[in-house]
Amino acid sequence: MIHYKTQAEIEKIRKSCSMVIEALTRVADLLKPGMDGLTIDAAAEEVIRDYGALPGFKGFNGFPSTLCISKNESVVHGIPDDVPFTETDILSIDCGVLFDGYYGDSAYTFALGEVDNAVMQLLAVTRESLYRGIAKAVEGNRMGDIGHAVQHFCEQEHKYSIVRELVGHGIGEELHEAPEVPNYGRRGMGSKLKQGLVIAIEPMVNMGRKSVVQARDGWTINTKDGKPSAHFEHTVAIGKQGADILSDHTLLEAAIKNNANLKEVSLKN
């Protein structure tokens, strides 16, 4: 069952999302080669708990950490560890917060300072595809319009691959609610989008083939061919004139710009 949100509920989700962005901004301030996932995870958790909120992922179905940190060929759900980051790593960092009964959720793929230009293009296309999908998140459209926009941009225009096994989701009093939000689909198909629907749109895009495999830790999802993958996510509320992005990345991207150890993600063509 889909739970449509009142404006008051949407504002609570926005508040939780703002804490997600504060935590990810702290990550962006700190990230550098030689640092490890456990350090970043602890810093993000401190930000969240300082607000009196709870990490949304920690303990969720047994997940052990505040952040999902997925490196290079890892798509999503990576568990933070003590292996130092290198100057050529890309890191999908996904964060959730529970505050006042409502969840927020957002993700960003960070690039350390010597990441190859071809990999940076993957990140830029994936980020842009998120906004292509959000542009279709308007009352009266259908879920397939969002997925088609993401898929066409990534697969037809840029020859990357959309992961099929993992999708976005509704969000509110539960971290994962109906409906599912695929990153592929046909225009005009799927459930109709209505005002009050809040969803997490999160393209997961592989440089090589779309196939993925689960690691032995029972959580991490990797590309089957070992090639890099990128992941960006926003929580948005469907509106009559357009989507309301509840997880604004402005602060986060300003922190990336100010960190000499990170590369900015921007589309070149």
What tens digit of pLDDT does each residue of 121-168 get? 999 999 999 999 999 999 999 999 999 999 999 999 999 999 999 999
Domain assignment of residue 264, yes or no? no
Domain assignment of residue 63, yes or no? yes
Domain assignment of residue 2, yes or no? no
Domain assignment of residue 71, yes or no? yes
State the total domains in the chain.
Answer: 1
- Range of the structural domain that residue 229 is part of: 7-259
Contact 65, 58 (CB under 8 A): yes
* Mean pLDDT of all residues in 64-87: 98
The confidence score (pLDDT) of residue 2 equals: 95
pLDDT(8) > 70: yes
Domain assignment of residue 92, yes or no? yes
Domain assignment of residue 1, yes or no? no
- Partner residues linked to 161 by β-bridges: 206
* Mean pLDDT of all residues in 44-50: 98
- 137, two tokens: 């998140």
What pTM was computed for the model? 0.98
The confidence score (pLDDT) of residue 269 equals: 53
Domain assignment of residue 205, yes or no? yes
As a whole number, the mean pLDDT across the chain is: 97
What is the domain-level CATH number for residue 200?
3.90.230.10
Contact 175, 60 (CB under 8 A): yes
* Mean pLDDT of all residues in 210-232: 98
* Mean pLDDT of all residues in 185-208: 98
Domain assignment of residue 265, yes or no? no
The confidence score (pLDDT) of residue 268 equals: 72
